[in-house]
Structure 1
């Protein structure tokens, strides 16, 4: 099948409705790039970090010669392993480890700095269009998974006051007897866990407003009359960084995921979905093996029947994207379908 013959997004939805099959959504960086590729592309992040003129990072980019952060991080991991295995001096190993940490923190800084400042910078029509797209899942009790770090998904759901989106976070009332004393109600911070059994939105690789305090998973909110992104940046200025999976290959990403209970919960929910999975803006590159493995777990490793994931519908934008999916189709243990992602019209 050629790219021009692919089904549209609406045809995919119609097909699944006819089959009476539940559907879930997995979104990758293409979701954010469809909003504004000048902000959320690898090139934009690379250009931001390059402008920092950090001597270590400059040498790193020059030596590895790529704008793919995952590839750079993976190669750094390899360099560190080789240096240790060959008895490299401690100074070199520490320099490589420091460069790796610096790159990860710089990536987070880049995402937050390039990001639109507040929710109302997003045009109303784009916000509403995206909300309608997401509601086709959330309003039917289906799940939305994202591997993006930015605030776009959070903004859309918040601005449109979604009644069905649940990210598992909640507040506890600190003074339950406030109505008897005439005081205003007081709440603690927004912590994850209270509503996790009803959770329908999952940030598999973390996201800007979610932090691990060591004892709690906390979500940053609008407070002190400051924009959400301002509060996030203030925490980052104090070296308090959001939960981000910035490791190199799929194995390293999975290790990072399983070292955090929130990420583990999100990933394991992806491993348990049933029906069909629709992906948008997710390329299934060489560093995404952990996501393919989650899909295969949901498919019960190819079991012929039972409650399981039966199929995945992967959105592509070009003939090259289609050929790539054909080349990795054998890795999936469920039926693979491909559709034209350009017909989804999420933001318009």
Structure 2
């Protein structure tokens, strides 16, 4: 069977709705690439390696011959462990660790520079179309999971004043005693936790607008004087960086996730979904097995019926994608269905 012969996205949604099956969405970098492939891609990001003033990083990219940041990060992490074990040259180890940190921070800065300037740069018709796509899940008590770090989904949901998108953040009153004495309340930054039980939007690998202060998880917001990217830039200038999973292997990603209360909560929520999961722009590559593990936990193998994940619908664009999913299909503990990703109306009607 070829990709063009697969079921369409509309057929997937119509089937799930007819069955009254609870459905959730997981999307990856393909979501943003579909908006603009010249902006949101590893190749576009990797151009910034030329601007990094670090000879070790430049040489590593040449030796590995890849545009994949994750792979380079993985090799750097491996190199650090090897150097610690076999080398007594502390200066070399220090250089490798510094190069690793430079790469991670440069990746965040690159994403920031490659973004559209602000939400209103996204054409209105694309914004509305994307909101309808996301709302198909959110308005029917579904959950939306993203492995992306960019601002597109946040922008779309805010611009369209989504009634169903809840990211778990809210403001706390910092002077409750004074408020009781009829004084005006002073509100905190947007902090995560107060509304997590109602949360419907989950950034599995973090996002540019989410920061860990060491005490609270905060979300940056725009104001009347500054767009969101400007505010993020100010934080980054002060050496404060967003929560951002940049480790290479799936195990390294999972380690990062487990050591952050926001990320671990989002991951745990993925392991508890029921019904069906629709995926788009997520290829389940070798560095994504932690996501398959979460899906398998939700599938609750051995439990024949009841509250569990019954199936996953995976979108593919090419014959290569199709063949790859067929090769790894056995890794899933729930039914795998494959559909034609080119038929998904994310940014334009199809």
Mean Cα displacement is larger for which, 14-23 or 233-242?
Answer: 14-23
Mean Cα displacement is larger for which, 83-92 or 136-145?
Answer: 83-92
Q: 1:329 to 1:200 in 2, by over 3 A?
A: same
Answer whether contact 1:302 1:333 (CA < 8 A) is retained. no
Q: 1:223 offset after TM fit, Å?
A: 3.0
Answer whether contact 2:52 2:106 (CA < 8 A) is retained. no
Deviations 1:306-328 (A, max 9, x none): 21101000001111110010111
Answer whether contact 1:49 1:110 (CA < 8 A) is retained. no
Q: Equivalent residue for 1:41?
A: 41
Q: CA RMSD in A?
A: 1.7
Answer whether contact 1:42 1:68 (CA < 8 A) is retained. yes
TM-score under structure 2 normalisation?
A: 0.95
Unaligned ranges ≥5, structure 1: none
Q: Equivalent residue for 1:260?
A: 260
Structural mapping, 1:47-62, within 5 Å: 47-62=47-62
Q: 1:94 offset after TM fit, Å?
A: 2.0
Q: Equivalent residue for 1:228?
A: 228
Unaligned ranges ≥5, structure 2: none
User: For residues 175 and 238 of structure 1, what CA distance do their matches in structure 2 show?
Assistant: 27
Q: Equivalent residue for 1:134?
A: 134
Q: 1:228 offset after TM fit, Å?
A: 0.8
User: For residues 186 and 117 of structure 1, what CA distance do their matches in structure 2 show?
Assistant: 31
Mean Cα displacement is larger for which, 66-75 or 295-304?
Answer: 295-304
User: For residues 298 and 146 of structure 2, what CA distance do their matches in structure 1 show?
Assistant: 17
Structural mapping, 1:104-143, within 5 Å: 104-143=104-143
Q: 1:227 offset after TM fit, Å?
A: 0.7
Answer whether contact 1:296 1:302 (CA < 8 A) is retained. no
Q: Equivalent residue for 1:10?
A: 10
Q: Equivalent residue for 1:30?
A: 30
Answer whether contact 1:45 1:110 (CA < 8 A) is retained. yes
Q: 1:179 to 1:228 in 2, by over 3 A?
A: farther
User: For residues 263 and 280 of structure 1, what CA distance do their matches in structure 2 show?
Assistant: 21
Mean Cα displacement is larger for which, 3-12 or 60-69?
Answer: 60-69
Answer whether contact 2:76 2:100 (CA < 8 A) is retained. yes
User: For residues 224 and 7 of structure 1, what CA distance do their matches in structure 2 show?
Assistant: 46
Q: 1:302 to 1:250 in 2, by over 3 A?
A: farther
